[in-house]
A = this chain, B = another copy of it.
Amino acid sequence: MELTDRQKQILRAIVDIYVSTAEPVGSKAIAALPDVDYSSATIRNEMAELTQLGLLEQPHTSAGRIPSPAGYRLYIDELMQDYRLSLDETRSLNEALELKSQEFDKMMSQVGKLVSQMTNLPAYTVATRQSEAVARHFDLIMAGPGSIILVLMLSGDVVKNKLVKLPVSVTEAELKLLSAVLNASLTDLTAEEITCDLLDKITRSAGAASPLVPLVIDFTLECLRRQHGDVHLTGQMRLLGQPEYKDAAGKAQEVFETLDEEMISNLPAVLPKDGPVHFLVGPENVAKELKDTSVVMMRFDIGEGMQGTIGVVGPTRMDYAKITAKLGYFAENLGRMFQKTNPNMPPALGEGTKDKE
């Protein structure tokens, strides 16, 4: 059943107003809008209809209407108008985007902080592996007597390191030999291609450093098998700025006890292959603690078989259009930064320069 244009207009107006005021919207408020020229009574009739259809809800009889989850869903899918970032916003996004670190993990965590700051909501980032991971380079560094640092570079420019302590001592030369062997025999292999046979062969060629081999291999396999990088979740406290948590701190705590890193690391899987953005509106979240919580997530490219996801968590009543616009800007420019030559270069300005507030 299709909505009339007028119904759509009213639904959109209700979502827009409610999102910014957090107060139920009454018929008068809508009648007062500039491009509405029918009376509040008419609007009341339409609102009754929309409520019938399950798109609006009434907190109590004598209150205005608020969008139901289905209402939000319809708004997102059909009614939402592209939000154009203002010049000011673009400028501060650009400023923010000058990432300081170039360590991959730090970069991801920094991105999360930025997004959280720009949206004033909690945000997370995860890197997920698209294709099978392989090791690119091994390095063994002497860190002291019996203490060795293993540096492992994986596809996707991810660098992992581990401190290995050994009861036996190994010489510099032996380490060099072992890293040569590792680099010769293990690079560009996926986890499955690393067989026991291969392991035996390496152990034999490793000489005095052979006690290291199982430790190295275990760590390597662990890294190769892990399909997503660390989850960086920040800005949880910003949720408290939202009126829905004004007094009910416990609710916010509950949300974040549910939304732990494990849960978040599964979110990218929900992101459909087509389209870079996805919305989980209120009860579309599986966990019941999150029934009043929405997630907007967006994919961005990191290149070499890796894919990043940025997400923002907030009350169901959130400015989907604005957040989508901001996330989109991040995603676009991050993709560029992660891939193009000099990641220090600030992103090109002038994307969405037309004002609108």
Contacts and interface: CB of A to CB of B under 8 A. Distances in A.
A163 B102 contact: yes
A104 B143 CA distance: 13
A57 to B, nearest CB: 24
Given A149-B153, A163-B343, A249-B252, 18 more contacts: A101-B162, A102-B162, A103-B161, A136-B141, A137-B141, A139-B139, A139-B141, A139-B151, A144-B304, A147-B157, A165-B340, A165-B342, A166-B341, A237-B237, A238-B253, A240-B250, A246-B250, A247-B249
Given A167-B341, A236-B236, A237-B257, A149 B143 contact: no
Contacts of A143: 136, 153, 157
A159 interface: yes
Given A141-B137, A249-B249, A253-B240, A159 B151 contact: yes
Nearest to A122: B237
A103 B104 CA distance: 14
Contacts of A163: 102-104, 157, 343
Interface of A: 101-106, 136-137, 139, 141-144, 146-147, 149, 151, 153, 157, 159-167, 230, 236-238, 240-241, 245-250, 252-253, 256-257, 304, 340-343
Contacts of A153: 141, 143, 149, 151
Nearest to A109: B230
Nearest to A241: B253
Contacts of A237: 236-237, 252-253, 256-257
Contacts of A257: 237
Nearest to A340: B165
A153 to B, nearest CB: 5
Contacts of A161: 103, 151, 159, 161
A34 to B, nearest CB: 34
7 contacts: A102-B163, A137-B141, A144-B157, A149-B153, A157-B163, A165-B340, A237-B256
Contacts of A146: 341
A246 B247 CA distance: 7
A160 B105 CA distance: 11
Given A104-B163, A149-B157, A237-B256, A248 B250 contact: no
Contacts of A106: 230
Contacts of A160: 103
Contacts of A139: 139, 141, 151
A165 B166 CA distance: 35
